Amino acid sequence: MTHNFTPFPVLETERLTLRELNLDDAKAIFGLRTNKEINEFIDRKTLNNLSESRAFIDLISNLASNNEGVFWVLQSKSNHQLIGTIGLRNFEDEENYAEIGYELDPNYHQKGIMSEAFEEILKFGFQNLELKIIEAFTHEKNTASIALLKKQKFVLDPERREEGFENNRSYRLEI
Local confidence band at 84 (pLDDT 50, 70, 90 cut-offs): very high
Tell me: pLDDT of 170 over 90. Answer: yes
CB 58 within 8 A of CB 40: no
Query: Percentage of the chain with pLDDT > 70?
Result: 99
Local confidence band at 40 (pLDDT 50, 70, 90 cut-offs): confident
What does the buried/exposed string (b/e) look like for 95-122 if buried means 16 or more CB atoms within 10 Å of the residue's CB? ebbbbbbbbbbeebeeeebbebbbebbb
Question: Residues 119-153: pLDDT tens digits?
Answer: 999 999 999 999 999 999 999 999 999 999 999 99
Query: Percentage of the chain with pLDDT > 90?
Result: 81
Give the Cα separation of 158 and 140 in Å (integer).
11
Tell me: pLDDT of 1 over 70. Answer: no
Local confidence band at 163 (pLDDT 50, 70, 90 cut-offs): confident
CB 29 within 8 A of CB 6: no
Topology of domain 11-174 in CATH is Aminopeptidase (3.40.630)
Domain ranges of the chain: 11-174
pTM, entire model: 0.93
